[in-house]
Amino acid sequence: MLAPGHTSRMRKRYTEKQKKDFKERFIQTRRYQIALAVPVFGPLLLLLAGKRAVADLGLQPMLLGTALLLAVAAGFSWLNWRCPACRKHLGWTLNPPCCPRCRVEFSS
């Protein structure tokens, strides 16, 4: 039995202003997440298509640079891609309708 007045973490009540705030922060978070494609795919494309760049710079620094960028991007993504309300990681979808933990809505 739950004690009277018990509020589950799963169904936390937010004010309308907070909900609006979470939606705006989610949009910003998703922008950062999408922007990650540039440092992740840019060097990969360069590596695949830019044989000339590889010839000029050498393969090893290009591979190291790509690996470093991927590691930084993965770390940033892990920290960035979280619910603005409860900070739970949002998984592998880029457009979740709501948080899997606290159920705060992201789409209007």
* Binding positions for Zn ion, rule: CB under 5 A: 83, 85-86, 88, 99, 101-102
- Minimum CB–partner distance for residue 13 and Zn ion (Å): 13
d(CA 87, CA 101): 9
Task: Give the distance, in angstroms, between the CA of residue 24 and the centroid of all CA atoms in the same chain.
Answer: 15
- Minimum CB–partner distance for residue 27 and Zn ion (Å): 15
- Minimum CB–partner distance for residue 71 and Zn ion (Å): 27
Task: Report H helices in 1-108.
Answer: 16-35, 37-49, 51-57, 59-80
